[in-house]
Chains A and B, each alone.
Chain A
Amino acid sequence: MPHLFALLILSLSLQANLVDSQGWERSRSVAESQHEIVMLLIRGKAFDKVLRASQEIFSLRFPYNQEHLFVTEGQILSGALYDHQQYELAQALLDQALRAVNSNNSKALLYKEKAYLCKQEGKTDEAMEFFEKAVELEKSAP
């Protein structure tokens, strides 16, 4: 009887892991497609639709160890928007990414990106403010 109980627990945990991995794989796949949609919107200069489409990505539930993908996505999309002189939109997109991540290191990287874009735009004081925030977050990171 105890063997049967242990087997049942093992089976349930394996199933939960499978469901988790399937859920993550689905989220990743959706994000992959949605990324292409956002990039097409940017290329097509449909900037008014970008934030709504990118929110679809950042509202997906990613495991903690995959959070860095949100950071990379924020950097790529904001960079693409910056290349089209959509500075405010790029900052708003990074704010979306900031709301999607939890770790201080991820937030610090995104604040650094905001600082970098501000610097490129010539807003040095604002850039320093974002960078200082990033440094503080890095210090408080475990």
Chain B
Amino acid sequence: MECLTCTESLTAFMDGELSPDQAKKVESHFTQCTPCHDDYRSLLHTYQLVEQVDLLELNPDLWTRIHSEITDLSPSESTWLASLRSLFGIRWVPIAAGTLGVVFLSLFFVNQPNPEVQQAFLEYVREREQLAVPQVPVSQNASSLELSTAYPNPFIVHNPRPQENPFKLE
């Protein structure tokens, strides 16, 4: 038997899990092989130490309590997240994220005003500011009957009345 096989089988030998034939082979090897015997002795000492350790006496209710806590936790696992996870496999996650990203970006760009229209608007505002309605100064001496206001009246006809008599023969 080789040392490696003996070392690997030592724990099983200690636990009595080997067949009598295998156990005899392992035992005969480590009784003759000093390194393997040392390993055996070290393992045996560990086993003896473990046996000396006092076992904790568990409260019989402890396991019942742990079990009930585990079963209480289980329903939260099967919440909407779990059902969603079962509905859409993990491979759908990047596709869904990509689609959402595209939708978000398209909404962003759709809401952006057309740069040409924006430019035209700025030009219009500039022109409009120059063409602001001229405010005619109101005379302080204007009588109460005079309906002159600070803004022009677009409905006034500026055709000058003829001063001469059109029917007069020259």
Q: Which residues of A contact B (CB under 8 A)?
A: 28-29, 31-32, 35-36, 39-40, 43, 69, 72-73, 75-76, 79-80, 112, 115-116, 119, 127-128, 131-132, 135
Contacts and interface: CB of A to CB of B under 8 A. Distances in A.
- Quick one: which of B117, B124, B154, B157 has the most chain A CB within 10 A? B154
A28 B157 contact: yes
Contacts of A131: 117, 120-121, 124
A132 B155 contact: no
Contacts of B121: 115, 119, 127-128, 131
B98 interface: no
Interface in B134-152: 147, 149-152
Nearest to B122: A119
**Range of interface residues on B (Cβ < 8 Å):** 20 to 34
A132 B157 contact: no
Interface of B: 113-114, 117-118, 120-121, 124-125, 128, 132-133, 147, 149-157
B155 A31 contact: yes
Given A28-B157, A79-B132, 5 more contacts: A69-B155, A76-B151, A112-B124, A112-B128, A116-B124
Mostly, the B contact residues are loop
A43 B149 contact: yes
Contacts of A43: 149-150
Given A119-B125, A128-B113, A135-B120, A40 B147 contact: yes
